[in-house]
Homo-oligomer: A and B are copies of this chain.
Amino acid sequence: MAKKNMVIAQSGGPSSAINASIAGAISRAMAAGEIGKVYGAINGMQGFLDRKLIDISEQIKTSDDIDMLIHTPAQALGSSRYKIPKGADGDAVFARILGILKEYDVGYFFYNGGNDSMDTVCRVANYFKTRGEDVVAVGIPKTIDNDLAETDHTPGFGSAARYVAASIAEVYLDTIVYPLPAVTVMEVMGRNAGWLTAASALARDTGVPAPHLIYLPELPFDPNDFVGRASELIEKEGQIVVAVSEGLKYADGVYLADTGAAEDMFGHKTLGGVANILESLLKDRSGIKGLKSRAIMFSTLQRAAAHYASETDLSESYECGRRAVESALEGHSGVMITIQRESNEPYLIHYAEGALDNIANEEKTVPLEWISDGGTNVSQEMIDYLRPLVRGESSEHILGGLPRFFRFDWTKIVGPGE
C-alpha cells in the first residue's frame, strides 16, 4: 500500500504554545516511514479550501528549525475563523474538502485549535465515517481559555497563565512605590470561562498579596459589592490590584463590555474595556480622596508572550501533536488528544483520546465551588490545579538578547504531486 500524505492546519485565536503542537506532529510524521508528504494548510480551513497548501517537509530542514518553531508564538500556518455551514451548503463544502484531500492523496487530516475548530474537525470526521472514506481526522487541542471538555487542561493555557501571574506580581510592586491610595485593574482574556483570570491568583506565589480581588465571568458582577470591598481594601492596604475577566456580566446577563462604550474624537465607540469600567466605578463611587486608578489590558500580549512560556505547557503541547499522528496512524478518527491528570503533587498526567462528539459543542467553565469569597477569589483546589501548569522555563532561541522565530514561507504553495 502506497504511503498516504498528511495535512495539518491551525485555527482560532493565537497562543504562544500552538506551534509546539504542530512541531510535535511534524516531527513524528517526518521521523517515521508511515507518512508521505507533510502538507500545511495556510489560514486554516479557509486556506485549505483555497488549496493554499505548502510542503512542510521541504521547509523544515533541521531539528533546530523544529526547536525554533516550538518557541514561536501564534499560528505559524496562519488561522481562520471560517465555519462550515450547516445543511446542504455544508455538504457541498465537505465534498470539496474530500476532493482536495484525494487530489493531494491525503489520508490523515489534523486540525489544531479550540472549540470551534474541534467542531469543524468533528463534522469532517463524521462525514468521512458516514461515507466510509479512508481518511482520518484528528483534533489537536489549543486554547488559552482552557475551556475544552474531556481534557484536564488545554495546551496554551499554562503559558498564558504564567505570563499573567508574573506580570500581575510585577505590576503590583510598581503600584506600591508611592504611599498614595491606588487601584490597578488588570483585564484578562476569557469571554465565558474564567480560567486565565483565575490564574492571576498565582501571582501571590511570588510573595505579593495581589491580586486582592478576582472577578470571573462565571458569576454575575455586583457593582455595589465591588465598590464596597475595593474601598475597604484600599483604606487598609493603600494600593490594590484587581484581576478581571473581559467576559464579566451583570446579574441581568449583559456583558459589562457592552455597556461601557464611550465615543472617541471621531464618534467611534472605543472604550468598553471591563477594566476601564471597574476603574471608573471606583473613582466615581469610592469617595476615596486622591485615588489613583489605572486600567491595564493585557490584550494580545497575554497570548503572544512566548518569551515567558511554561515549559510544562510547551512539552505537553508538543506531545499532543505527536500523539495525534500516532492516533491517526492507528486509524482513529473523530478524536482529540486529551490530557488526564493523575495527581497534582507530584504532577502526573497521561494522554488519552476524547471523542470529538463529546467535545465539539461543550465549553468547560470554572466550577462554581472553585470560586470563593463571594465571587472575588479562587479556592485552594483551583490553586493546586493551576500550580503545576506554569512550571518550567522555556529556552527560547536567543540571539543578541532577542528571540529568533521560525516562519514558514506561506507563498510556496504546492500543487498535488509536487
Contact = CB atoms under 8 A, between A and B. Distances in A.
Contact of A310 (B16, B294, B391, B401): B401
Contacts of A165: 402
Given A173-B304, A174-B73, A402-B166, A266 B294 contact: no
A379 interface: no
A32 interface: no
Number of copies: 2
A307 B401 contact: no
Q: How large is the interface on A (under 10, 10 to 19, 20 to 34, 35 or more residues)?
A: 35 or more
Nearest to A390: B401
Contact of A174 (B176, B262, B277, B300): B300
Contact of A170 (B265, B277, B283, B306): B306
Interface stretch (A21-29, A83-91, A205-213, A351-359): A205-213
A263 to B, nearest CB: 6
A400 B405 contact: no
A404 B307 CA distance: 18
Contacts of A393: 398, 401
A398 B260 CA distance: 39
A18 B392 CA distance: 26
Interface string A270-283: 11000011011101
Contacts of A174: 14, 73-74, 300, 303-304
A415 B306 CA distance: 48
Contact of A402 (B162, B177, B283): B162
Contact of A205 (B178, B279, B284, B402): B402
Given A178-B79, A401-B310, A72 B173 contact: yes
Nearest to A15: B174
Contact of A166 (B166, B403, B407): B403
A344 B254 CA distance: 56
A264 interface: yes
A148 interface: no
A64 B398 CA distance: 26
Nearest to A52: B179
Contacts of A92: none
A164 to B, nearest CB: 11
A401 B312 contact: yes
Given A260-B265, A262-B262, 4 more contacts: A264-B280, A266-B281, A270-B280, A296-B300
7 residue pairs, one from A and one from B, having the closest CB atoms:
A170-B304, A391-B401, A79-B177, A74-B173, A390-B401, A174-B304, A262-B262
